[in-house]
Amino acid sequence: MRTVVTGGAGFLGTHLVEKLRAHDIEPYVPLLEDWDLTRADDVERLFTETEPELLIHLAAEVGGIGANQANPGRYWYANLMMGAHILEQSRLRGLHKLVLIGTICAYPKFAPVPFKEDDLWNGYPEETNAPYGIAKKTLLVGAQAYRDQYGLDAIFLLPVNLYGPRDNFDLASSHVIPALIRKMVEARRSERQEVVLWGDGSPTREFLYVEDCAEAIQLAAERYNGPDPVNIGTGSEISIRELAKLIAKLTGYEGELVWDTSKPNGQPRRRLDVGRAERLFGFRARTPLREGLERTVAWYLGQSPQN
């Protein structure tokens, strides 16, 4: 099956491409310098030149709380336009299967925990990442509408926060795990006695190892053909405070953790109900958090000139 993976050169994308190759699928990966997927003509050209039968849309403009606060308009526009153009070309070209990747940021700020897919529309998302989350959630509406009117087999997956090797460790745009790892490694190397972290550490998050997410996407593309959104996660949560302590231990940082409460916490809690993914296409996360963090820290240290 001719396969295209947008965002295939990114963090999740490189792991998914490896997973597909292990199943004898060699996907085409459009690179950012060659394709601007926010432009309708570029998306049309992509479909013309590659003639995909399966398209997995991972491409996104995204970052942590600070990046979302700095780029709310761009994140809303870019993510909405990319998905809308891909949906329309999928309809026009009679695509066999479209896999759209949403985000846990689409859930209401005070959704009951664990988050169930049926609660997706019962409130407004957490304000700092609402433009991004709403743009992604709009693609679910598009996927369901195109299925109803045109028969397009488009599915929508909602991964929880990802982490692992090849993550983005740029402190200006990274998510919490790579940011904590980098801050503590650098503090240990420079013998700083404290690391300042955002918020008060009380929010909880659920984290999914990136290779497990790649497996979930591969299974869904192969086995799932329904209209309903599906959570992808572990079903377990940890507070940011406890996560920071664990990463300090794994990186060998022994200084003080200082919480800057003038900075936002983000959503109070995040934990998914993951039963639908197991029922519909047999996915269950396999990598325990500590083991995944150990692998991620080891990878990051391996990229650095000194350990």
Burial group, residue 151, by CB count within 10 angstroms (0-12, 13-18, 19+): exposed
> What is the Rg, in whole angstroms, of the alpha carbon atoms belonging to the chain?
19
> Is residue 220 within 8 Å of residue 278, measured between CB atoms?
no
300 as an active site residue: the answer is: no
Q: How far is CA 296 from CA 15, 65, 153, in A?
A: 14, 21, 35
Catalytic residue, from 132, 146, 163, 209: name it: 132
Active site residues: 132
